[in-house]
Amino acid sequence: MVNRIIAVINQKGGTGKTTLALNLSAGLALRGSTHLVDADPQRSITQWVGMGGGHSGLPQVAQLDDNPVAMLTELTHSYRYVVVDCPPTAQGEAVAAIMRVVHLALIPVLPSPIDLWASVDMAVAVKEARQNNPELRACLVLNQMESRNALSRDMREAVAEFDMPVLVAGMQRRAAYRSAAVEGRSVYGVGKRGQQAVADIEAIIEEVLCL
Ligand SMILES: Nc1ncnc2c1ncn2[C@@H]1O[C@H](COP(=O)(O)OP(=O)(O)O)[C@@H](O)[C@H]1O
Ligand SMILES: [Mg+2]
Protein backbone atom coordinates (compact mmCIF):
# COMPACT_ATOMS: atom_id res chain seq x y z
CA MET A 1 0.00 0.00 0.00
CA VAL A 2 1.12 3.50 -0.69
CA ASN A 3 1.77 5.46 2.48
CA ARG A 4 -0.35 8.49 1.97
CA ILE A 5 -0.01 10.50 5.15
CA ILE A 6 3.58 10.63 6.31
CA ALA A 7 4.46 12.48 9.52
CA VAL A 8 8.04 13.48 10.25
CA ILE A 9 8.30 13.49 13.98
CA ASN A 10 10.74 13.53 16.86
CA GLN A 11 10.36 15.16 20.25
CA LYS A 12 13.91 16.42 19.99
CA GLY A 13 14.67 19.60 18.03
CA GLY A 14 17.39 19.82 15.40
CA THR A 15 17.31 16.20 14.26
CA GLY A 16 16.23 17.10 10.72
CA LYS A 17 12.42 16.92 10.79
CA THR A 18 11.88 20.03 8.73
CA THR A 19 14.72 19.19 6.35
CA LEU A 20 13.35 15.69 5.76
CA ALA A 21 9.70 16.79 5.51
CA LEU A 22 10.43 19.46 2.95
CA ASN A 23 12.77 17.45 0.73
CA LEU A 24 10.64 14.32 0.99
CA SER A 25 7.59 16.30 -0.12
CA ALA A 26 9.54 17.76 -3.05
CA GLY A 27 10.53 14.25 -4.16
CA LEU A 28 7.04 12.84 -3.66
CA ALA A 29 5.59 15.71 -5.68
CA LEU A 30 7.47 14.32 -8.70
CA ARG A 31 5.47 11.10 -8.29
CA GLY A 32 2.03 12.33 -7.41
CA SER A 33 0.14 15.32 -6.05
CA THR A 34 1.61 16.23 -2.69
CA HIS A 35 0.62 18.61 0.08
CA LEU A 36 2.78 19.74 2.98
CA VAL A 37 1.32 20.47 6.39
CA ASP A 38 3.17 22.64 8.86
CA ALA A 39 2.25 21.40 12.32
CA ASP A 40 5.11 23.14 14.12
CA PRO A 41 4.14 26.40 15.87
CA GLN A 42 7.63 27.64 14.96
CA ARG A 43 6.44 27.61 11.34
CA SER A 44 9.81 26.67 9.84
CA ILE A 45 8.26 25.04 6.76
CA THR A 46 6.00 28.00 6.10
CA GLN A 47 8.96 30.38 6.35
CA TRP A 48 11.11 28.15 4.20
CA VAL A 49 8.60 27.95 1.41
CA GLY A 50 7.90 31.67 1.77
CA MET A 51 11.58 32.42 1.08
CA GLY A 52 11.32 30.74 -2.30
CA GLY A 53 8.91 33.50 -3.28
CA GLY A 54 6.42 31.11 -4.84
CA HIS A 55 8.96 29.94 -7.44
CA SER A 56 10.52 27.20 -5.39
CA GLY A 57 8.73 24.32 -7.09
CA LEU A 58 7.68 23.15 -3.65
CA PRO A 59 4.31 21.63 -2.83
CA GLN A 60 1.58 23.77 -1.35
CA VAL A 61 1.78 24.27 2.39
CA ALA A 62 -0.97 24.69 4.93
CA GLN A 63 -0.73 25.15 8.65
CA LEU A 64 -2.36 22.51 10.81
CA ASP A 65 -5.77 23.69 11.98
CA ASP A 66 -7.53 22.79 15.25
CA ASN A 67 -9.05 19.65 13.80
CA PRO A 68 -6.04 17.71 12.53
CA VAL A 69 -7.92 14.46 11.95
CA ALA A 70 -10.50 16.11 9.68
CA MET A 71 -7.94 18.29 7.95
CA LEU A 72 -5.52 15.48 7.12
CA THR A 73 -8.29 13.10 6.08
CA GLU A 74 -9.75 15.78 3.84
CA LEU A 75 -6.36 16.39 2.18
CA THR A 76 -6.05 12.71 1.27
CA HIS A 77 -9.16 13.12 -0.86
CA SER A 78 -7.37 15.59 -3.12
CA TYR A 79 -3.70 14.64 -2.76
CA ARG A 80 -1.87 11.40 -3.17
CA TYR A 81 0.71 12.24 -0.50
CA VAL A 82 0.43 14.40 2.57
CA VAL A 83 3.62 15.16 4.51
CA VAL A 84 3.36 16.61 8.01
CA ASP A 85 6.25 18.46 9.68
CA CYS A 86 5.64 17.93 13.40
CA PRO A 87 6.57 20.08 16.39
CA PRO A 88 9.44 18.89 18.62
CA THR A 89 7.25 17.03 21.10
CA ALA A 90 5.91 13.53 21.55
CA GLN A 91 3.01 14.80 23.61
CA GLY A 92 0.09 17.12 23.22
CA GLU A 93 -3.23 16.97 21.48
CA ALA A 94 -2.02 17.95 18.02
CA VAL A 95 0.62 15.21 17.87
CA ALA A 96 -1.81 12.63 19.29
CA ALA A 97 -4.37 13.58 16.62
CA ILE A 98 -1.78 13.42 13.84
CA MET A 99 -0.68 9.98 15.02
CA ARG A 100 -4.28 8.80 14.88
CA VAL A 101 -4.56 9.26 11.11
CA VAL A 102 -1.01 8.97 9.85
CA HIS A 103 0.09 5.90 7.86
CA LEU A 104 3.80 6.25 8.42
CA ALA A 105 5.85 8.09 11.03
CA LEU A 106 9.42 8.85 10.02
CA ILE A 107 11.65 9.68 12.96
CA PRO A 108 14.90 11.38 11.97
CA VAL A 109 17.71 10.77 14.46
CA LEU A 110 21.29 11.92 14.57
CA PRO A 111 23.71 9.00 14.41
CA SER A 112 24.81 9.02 18.02
CA PRO A 113 23.50 6.73 20.74
CA ILE A 114 22.84 9.74 22.99
CA ASP A 115 20.58 11.33 20.41
CA LEU A 116 18.86 8.06 19.78
CA TRP A 117 18.10 7.53 23.46
CA ALA A 118 16.74 11.06 23.64
CA SER A 119 14.12 9.86 21.16
CA VAL A 120 12.99 6.93 23.26
CA ASP A 121 9.69 8.66 24.12
CA MET A 122 8.86 8.47 20.44
CA ALA A 123 8.79 4.69 20.62
CA VAL A 124 6.34 4.95 23.52
CA ALA A 125 4.20 7.48 21.62
CA VAL A 126 4.09 5.19 18.59
CA LYS A 127 3.04 2.24 20.75
CA GLU A 128 0.26 4.29 22.31
CA ALA A 129 -0.90 5.59 18.94
CA ARG A 130 -1.21 2.02 17.64
CA GLN A 131 -4.06 1.41 20.08
CA ASN A 132 -6.20 3.68 17.90
CA ASN A 133 -4.27 3.32 14.68
CA PRO A 134 -3.09 -0.30 14.50
CA GLU A 135 -1.78 0.09 10.92
CA LEU A 136 0.64 2.86 11.91
CA ARG A 137 4.18 2.15 10.76
CA ALA A 138 7.18 3.90 12.18
CA CYS A 139 10.82 3.97 11.10
CA LEU A 140 13.93 5.73 12.24
CA VAL A 141 15.81 7.67 9.57
CA LEU A 142 19.46 8.38 10.23
CA ASN A 143 20.44 11.96 9.49
CA GLN A 144 23.74 13.82 9.24
CA MET A 145 25.69 10.66 8.60
CA GLU A 146 29.31 11.26 7.65
CA SER A 147 29.49 8.33 5.26
CA ARG A 148 27.44 5.33 4.25
CA ASN A 149 29.30 3.03 6.57
CA ALA A 150 29.83 5.38 9.45
CA LEU A 151 27.43 3.67 11.79
CA SER A 152 29.45 2.85 14.86
CA ARG A 153 28.99 -0.41 16.69
CA ASP A 154 27.54 1.54 19.60
CA MET A 155 24.97 3.05 17.32
CA ARG A 156 24.01 -0.28 15.83
CA GLU A 157 23.54 -1.72 19.30
CA ALA A 158 21.51 1.28 20.38
CA VAL A 159 19.26 0.99 17.32
CA ALA A 160 18.72 -2.71 18.00
CA GLU A 161 17.62 -1.92 21.57
CA PHE A 162 15.23 0.70 20.30
CA ASP A 163 12.85 -1.89 18.87
CA MET A 164 11.94 0.13 15.82
CA PRO A 165 13.03 -0.47 12.22
CA VAL A 166 15.61 1.86 10.76
CA LEU A 167 15.60 2.71 7.07
CA VAL A 168 18.63 1.52 5.12
CA ALA A 169 18.62 4.88 3.35
CA GLY A 170 19.42 8.02 5.31
CA MET A 171 20.54 11.60 4.85
CA GLN A 172 24.24 12.27 4.89
CA ARG A 173 25.64 15.51 6.20
CA ARG A 174 25.76 17.73 3.14
CA ALA A 175 26.10 21.47 2.63
CA ALA A 176 23.37 21.32 -0.02
CA TYR A 177 20.66 20.71 2.61
CA ARG A 178 21.59 23.96 4.29
CA SER A 179 22.19 26.06 1.21
CA ALA A 180 18.92 24.93 -0.38
CA ALA A 181 17.14 25.93 2.84
CA VAL A 182 18.67 29.39 2.72
CA GLU A 183 17.30 29.82 -0.79
CA GLY A 184 13.83 28.58 0.13
CA ARG A 185 14.23 25.57 -2.12
CA SER A 186 14.46 21.83 -1.83
CA VAL A 187 17.61 19.99 -2.85
CA TYR A 188 15.77 19.15 -6.10
CA GLY A 189 15.67 22.85 -6.91
CA VAL A 190 19.38 23.73 -6.72
CA GLY A 191 20.72 21.89 -9.74
CA LYS A 192 23.98 20.00 -9.65
CA ARG A 193 24.80 21.19 -6.14
CA GLY A 194 21.91 19.14 -4.83
CA GLN A 195 22.59 15.99 -6.79
CA GLN A 196 23.95 13.84 -3.96
CA ALA A 197 21.34 15.02 -1.51
CA VAL A 198 18.66 14.23 -4.10
CA ALA A 199 20.09 10.71 -4.28
CA ASP A 200 19.70 10.40 -0.47
CA ILE A 201 16.08 11.53 -0.63
CA GLU A 202 15.26 9.37 -3.65
CA ALA A 203 16.59 6.31 -1.82
CA ILE A 204 14.48 7.18 1.22
CA ILE A 205 11.38 7.60 -0.94
CA GLU A 206 11.93 4.34 -2.82
CA GLU A 207 12.34 2.50 0.47
CA VAL A 208 9.33 4.16 2.07
CA LEU A 209 7.04 3.49 -0.89
CA CYS A 210 7.87 -0.21 -0.68
CA LEU A 211 6.96 -0.51 3.01
N1 LIG B 1 21.77 16.05 6.44
C2 LIG B 1 22.05 17.32 6.77
N3 LIG B 1 23.20 17.90 6.35
C4 LIG B 1 23.49 19.17 6.69
N5 LIG B 1 22.71 19.96 7.46
C6 LIG B 1 21.56 19.44 7.91
C7 LIG B 1 21.15 18.11 7.59
N8 LIG B 1 19.95 17.88 8.18
C9 LIG B 1 19.61 19.01 8.83
N10 LIG B 1 20.57 19.95 8.68
C11 LIG B 1 20.57 21.29 9.28
O12 LIG B 1 20.43 21.12 10.70
C13 LIG B 1 19.57 22.11 11.25
C14 LIG B 1 18.38 21.45 11.95
O15 LIG B 1 17.59 20.78 10.99
P16 LIG B 1 15.99 20.89 11.00
O17 LIG B 1 15.51 20.15 9.80
O18 LIG B 1 15.56 22.30 11.16
O19 LIG B 1 15.64 20.06 12.33
P20 LIG B 1 14.27 19.99 13.16
O21 LIG B 1 13.15 20.37 12.24
O22 LIG B 1 14.19 18.58 13.63
O23 LIG B 1 14.42 20.94 14.30
C24 LIG B 1 19.18 23.01 10.10
O25 LIG B 1 20.05 24.10 10.08
C26 LIG B 1 19.39 22.14 8.86
O27 LIG B 1 19.71 22.92 7.70
MG1 LIG C 1 11.60 21.77 12.44
Tell whether the model's pLDDT for residue 56 goes beyond 70. no
Tell whether the model's pLDDT for residue 124 goes beyond 60. yes
Domain that holds residue 47: 5-209
Tell how far the Cα of 134 is from the centroid of ligand 1, in angstroms.
Answer: 30
N- to C-terminal Cα separation, the chain = 8
The 10s digit of each residue's pLDDT in 138-154 is 999 999 988 655 566 67
57: nearest Cα among 207, 206, 185: 185
How far is residue 20's CA from residue 105's CA, in Å, rounded to a whole number?
A: 12
Ligand 1 close to Cβ of residue 13 (< 6 A): yes
Instruction: Look at 170 and 114; give whichever has higher pLDDT.
Output: 170
Measured between alpha carbons, how far is residue 95 from residues 38, 82, 87, 198 in Å? 12, 15, 8, 28
Q: What are the residues whose beta carbon lies below 5 Å from ligand 2 (ion)?
A: 17-18, 44
Q: How confident is the model at residue 173 (pLDDT cuts 50, 70, 90)?
A: very high
Compute φ and ψ for 64, nearest 5 degrees: -65, 135
Tell how far the Cα of 13 is from the centroid of ligand 2, in angstroms.
Answer: 7
Which ligand 1 atom sits closest to the C-alpha of 143? 1
Q: Report how far Cα 60 is from the mean position of its chain's Cα atoms.
A: 16
pLDDT of residue 149: 56
How far is residue 140's CA from residue 47's CA, in Å, rounded to a whole number?
A: 26
Instruction: Report yes or no: 21 and 46 within 8 Å, Cβ to Cβ.
Output: no
How far is residue 165's CA from residue 73's CA, in Å, rounded to a whole number?
A: 26
Identity of the amino acid at 102 = V
Q: Residue 203: enclosing H or E segment and its boundaries? A: helix 195-209
- Stretch 180-189: mean pLDDT: 93
Instruction: Report yes or no: 88 and 13 within 8 Å, Cβ to Cβ.
Output: yes
Tell how far the Cα of 77 is from the centroid of ligand 1, in angstroms.
Answer: 31
Split into its structural domains, the chain has a count of: 1
The 10s digit of each residue's pLDDT in 59-98 is 999 999 999 999 999 999 999 999 999 999 988 899 999 9
CATH number at residue 95: 3.40.50.300
